[in-house]
Copies of this chain bind each other. A is one copy, B any other.
Amino acid sequence: MAKIQLGPKPFLLPQPAVLVGTVVDGVPNFMLAAWCGVANQTPPMVTVAVRPNRHTQRGIEANRAFSLNIPSTNLAVKADYCGIVSGKKADKSSVFTLREGTVAGAPLIEECPLILECRLVQTLELPTHNLHLGEVVEVHADTDCLVDGVPEMGKVDPLVYSITDGQYWKIGGPVATAFQVGKQLEP
Complex contact B169–A173 (CB within 8 A): yes
- Expressed in whole angstroms, the Cα–Cα distance for A110 and B3 within the complex equals 9
Q: Which residues from B are CB-within-8-Å of A16?
A: 12-15
A41 to chain B, nearest CB (A): 5
State the main secondary structure of chain A at its contact with B. mixed
Nearest chain-B residue to A108 (Cβ)? B3
Number of copies: 2
Residues in chain B near residue A4, CB distance under 8 A: 140-141, 143, 146
Give me 16 A-to-B residue pairs in the complex whose CB atoms sit less than 8 angstroms apart, sorted by A's number: A1-B143, A8-B138, A10-B44, A12-B38, A14-B16, A36-B37, A38-B163, A39-B49, A39-B124, A77-B181, A81-B182, A147-B165, A151-B164, A167-B175, A168-B174, A170-B173
Q: Are A70 and B12 in contact (CB under 8 A)?
A: yes
Size of the A side of the interface (Cβ < 8 Å), in residues, is 111
Across the interface, do B131 and A39 meet the contact criterion of CB distance under 8 Å?
yes
Residues of B contacting A26 in the complex (Cβ-Cβ under 8 angstroms)? none
Q: For the complex formed, measure the closest distance between the CB of A17 and the CB atoms of chain B, giving whole angstroms.
A: 8
